Each structure stands twice: as C-alpha cells, then as structure tokens.
Chain A
Amino acid sequence: MPSTDVINQIGLSHYLVLSAALFTMGFLGVLMRRNVLVMMMCIELMLNAVNLTFIAFSKFSGRIDGQIMVFFVMTIAAAEAAVGLAIIVSIFKRYREVNIRFFEHLKG
C-alpha cells in the first residue's frame, strides 16, 4: 500500500475493519447476553456488519451486485426477525420468560 495517510485516505480496509469490529461486537453479544431479544438484536448487528462489507466491496470493485446482495440480506434479516419474534412472543405469552437459559427446556 503506497499511501500512508491512514487518517485522511479512507479506503476499503477502513470499512472492513469497522465491519469486523461491529461483527465481533455482535458475536460477543450473542454469546454473552441472556435476553433472547437482545441476542436477536446482536444477530441483526452482525448482519449489518456483513452488509457493510458487501457495500464496501461493491464500491471498490465497481460491481453493483454487492448492493443487490445487501438488499436480499435485508429481506432475509427482516423475515428472520419476524419469525424469531413471533416464536419468542408465543413462548413469552405462555411462560413469561425471555431468558435464553430457560429455552434449554425446549430441548426434546
């Protein structure tokens, strides 16, 4: 890499590092939080981080397909959130519980 001006020359790697940071944060949340809803939010955060890489690669490789992938990922994420929340709500309605450790009882 010829350019050394890390602060002013914003390039692909900046976006990638940012997205890596967000991704790991989300993953940490999935591993550490107890609330199922928060875990789902952390999954959304991870998906968003991945979206950022898609967009960054799309921009820096000059192909629009990355943006379309993001479009699709968003759809899938929304569908996932809808179904996931529906499941959580039906469990909550019955047991008044959102702790992930409680969900262990659902094991067959």
Chain B
Amino acid sequence: MTADAFIFWFLSLVAVTSGLSVVMMANPIYSALSLAMTMVSLAALFATLGAYFIAGVQVIVYAGAVMVLFVIVLMLFDLREETKAFTRGQVSGALKIAMIGFLAGLIVMVMAQGVKFLAAPDVVDAAKLPEDSSKALGLVLFNRHIFGFEALGVLLLVVAVGTVALARSKGGTHAKH
C-alpha cells in the first residue's frame, strides 16, 4: 500500500468509526467528543485533497469552536447517560431504517453515475489546482464571491444579535407546565 493510500484508509476508518459513535453513543458528551474527532479526521482528509487552508479552518471553526460550544452546553446542562437514547416506534423505526438503507444505496449509485460523467479525462486533472491553494482561494473569494462574503458578514451580525436576544429571553410567555 502506498503512503497516500494508507493515510486515506486510516483517516476514513477514523472518520467512519467516530461518525458511527456519534450516532450510537448513549452519552451525548461522548457523541460530541466523537464528532470533534470526526471533524478533525475530515480536516485531515481535506488536507489530503490539497485544501490546506480549508482544513485549518475546519479545525478552528468546527472542532475548535462549534463543538466546544456543544460540549460546554452539554456540560452546563449536566446531561449524562440517557436510558432512552433512541426513539422506539415499531413501524416508523423499521421504516426509517429501511429508508436509510435504501437512501444509502441510492446515493452511492447516483454518485457512481456522476463520477462516470466527471471522469472524462480532460476534467479529471488534479494538477490544475496549485499545491498551496490558500492564495488562490483568497483571490477567487474576493473576485467572484465577494457578494456572498459580504452577505455572510451581515448574516453573522444578525445571528449575533439574535442569539443574545434568545439567550436573554426568560423562556417563553406561557405558564410553566
């Protein structure tokens, strides 16, 4: 096995294992920590695809910020082991699982088809991207996607204001049950 292939298989193993444990762990804190692990391994996978800057941002934003927030909230709430971690409906549960299985198959099939279209030799040319793509990313971001960039700035402002308002709210207007 080549080194690159080994790294890919190792990382995908980590990602899948930790991803599964996000779903399966009964203790939400373990779920959150597994998710952080998934995100870090996905960041490493991004790096194998040459997206170093995005990999770094993935770690900073997802693993270093969003998941920390989740963990802090979980710890603040003192949410431990759950006895009923999964919904239990006889019919709907079976239906859900069947659907997920079907969906997984479909996604893979569709992707296989999509790859066939993409696999035209002139398109699959990995050498087009520079090895260090962070500068190219900046150049394109501020040329073609400048509007999205500004719009996201406004979005973040709105979210900042909104969350403060939400966090201050005393929790609804109705009487407590």
State how many angstroms separate the Cβ of A87 from the closest Cβ of chain B.
6
Give the complex CA separation of A40 and B28 in angstroms: 11
A44 and B141 in contact (CB under 8 A), knowing A34-B87, A94-B172?
no
- Interface membership of A103, Cβ < 8 A: no
Give the complex CA separation of A101 and B82 in angstroms: 14
**Contact count A vs B, C-beta below 8 Å:** 239
Contact of B140 with A81 in the complex, beta carbons under 8 Å: no
Interface set, chain A 74-101, CB cutoff 8 A to B: 74-79, 81-83, 85-95, 98, 100-101
State how many angstroms separate the Cβ of A89 from the closest Cβ of chain B.
6
Interface set, chain B 117-142, CB cutoff 8 A to A: 118-119, 123-129, 133, 136-137, 140-141
Total count of chain B residues near the partner, CB < 8 A: 87
Contact of B104 with A24 in the complex, beta carbons under 8 Å: yes
Give the complex CA separation of A58 and B53 in angstroms: 14
A contact residues around B85 at 8 Å (CB) = 33-35, 38
Between-chain CB contacts (< 8 Å), 6 pairs: A12-B124, A18-B16, A37-B32, A44-B62, A67-B53, A95-B171
Contact of A86 with B162 in the complex, beta carbons under 8 Å: yes
State how many angstroms separate the Cβ of B68 from the closest Cβ of chain A.
11
Give the complex CA separation of A40 and B103 in angstroms: 20
Contact of A58 with B19 in the complex, beta carbons under 8 Å: no
Proximity bits, A22-47, B CB within 8 Å = 1, else 0: 11111111011111011011101100
Contacting residue for A70 out of B4, B38, B51, B129, CB 8 A: B51
B contact residues around A27 at 8 Å (CB) = 100, 103
Proximity bits, B75-103, A CB within 8 Å = 1, else 0: 00101001011110000010011001001
State how many angstroms separate the Cβ of A72 from the closest Cβ of chain B.
6
Give the complex CA separation of A92 and B166 in angstroms: 12
A contact residues around B124 at 8 Å (CB) = 12, 60-61
State how many angstroms separate the Cβ of A61 from the closest Cβ of chain B.
6
- Chain B residue, CB-CB nearest to A21: B16
B contact residues around A20 at 8 Å (CB) = 104, 107-108, 111
Besides A27-B103, A94-B170, 16 more A-B contacts (Cβ < 8 Å) are A1-B119, A7-B1, A20-B111, A28-B23, A31-B87, A31-B100, A35-B82, A58-B49, A58-B51, A62-B126, A76-B152, A76-B155, A78-B61, A79-B156, A87-B166, A95-B176
